[in-house]
Chains A and B, each alone.
Chain A
Amino acid sequence: QKEVEQDPGPLSVPEGAIVSLNCTYSNSAFQYFMWYRQYSRKGPELLMYTYSSGNKEDGRFTAQVDKSSKYISLFIRDSQPSDSATYLCASPTGANNLFFGTGTRLTVIP
């Protein structure tokens, strides 16, 4: 079982829709959870990170962690064509590396 699992999609939504991106993880020791956005042929850029359980909001983006079910989510409100990218969830390991999900490719259609 992979440490972080993510539905690869692809996911296509119309502009203005609410997008829900999800990951599950297996290691109960994970504390920090990160969401990265990767545009085509670019390196990942950090969108948000959360610690332990709960929600964190930043503009149109909301990150949510449910440690009881080992489930992490990223919600995008009022999605825009510029949000079209691959979104990767990640969590650091004890060795200070990041475990990445496979990434979900999102396309927002104007």
Chain B
Amino acid sequence: GAVVSQHPSRVICKSGTSVKIECRSLDFQATTMFWYRQFPKQSLMLMATSNEGSKATYEQGVEKDKFLINHASLTLSTLTVTSAHPEDSSFYICSARGGSGSPYGYTFGSGTRLTVV
């Protein structure tokens, strides 16, 4: 089945530093990847959609200069949280489209818990 690997699973960083999160599709080519953010006891909030080889599309209210997304290949997308602040602490989840198993082929990574201190 389709597998999406997300790394790291947990990261703690100092305020003002940048953190990179990787999302890889292991056994399929992901034409589109999505990045979500999830606060405790809340649902997933879409941050941006990235298509391989083109600029990401950000949802309203998401700062594109703060959350840099790169989708340079069909198997890898990265999310970089720049100049992180404590309010950026959250659970970040990627989803890749292109695998099998469901309509539209959405497969989710296991998530990254970011804590900014």
**Which residues of A sit under 8 angstroms from B46, Cβ to Cβ?**
97-98
Main secondary structure of the interface of A (DSSP, over half): strand
Contact A46 B110 (CB under 8 A): no
Contact A43 B41 (CB under 8 A): no
Contact B101 A92 (CB under 8 A): no
Residue of B nearest to A45 (CB): B108
Contact B111 A96 (CB under 8 A): no
Contact B32 A49 (CB under 8 A): no
Instruction: Tell whether A100 is near chain B: CB-to-CB under 8 Å.
Output: yes
Contact A88 B103 (CB under 8 A): no
Instruction: Tell whether A41 is near chain B: CB-to-CB under 8 Å.
Output: yes
Contact B41 A8 (CB under 8 A): yes
**Which residues of B sit under 8 angstroms from A96, Cβ to Cβ?**
32, 97, 104
CA gap between A32 and B104 in the complex, in Å: 10
Instruction: Tell whether B11 is near chain A: CB-to-CB under 8 Å.
Output: no
**Contacts A92-B104, A102-B43: A42 and B110 contacting too (C-beta < 8 A)?**
yes
Q: Report the minimum CB–CB distance from A53 to chain B (whole Å).
A: 15
Chain B, residues 13-50, CB within 8 Å of chain A (1/0): the string is: 00000000000000000001010000001111010010
Q: Which residues of B approach A to under 8 Å, CB–CB?
A: 4, 6, 32, 34, 41-44, 46, 49, 91, 93, 95, 97, 101-104, 106-111, 113
Q: Which residues of A approach B to under 8 Å, CB–CB?
A: 6, 8, 32, 34, 36, 41-46, 49, 51, 88, 92, 95-98, 100-103, 105
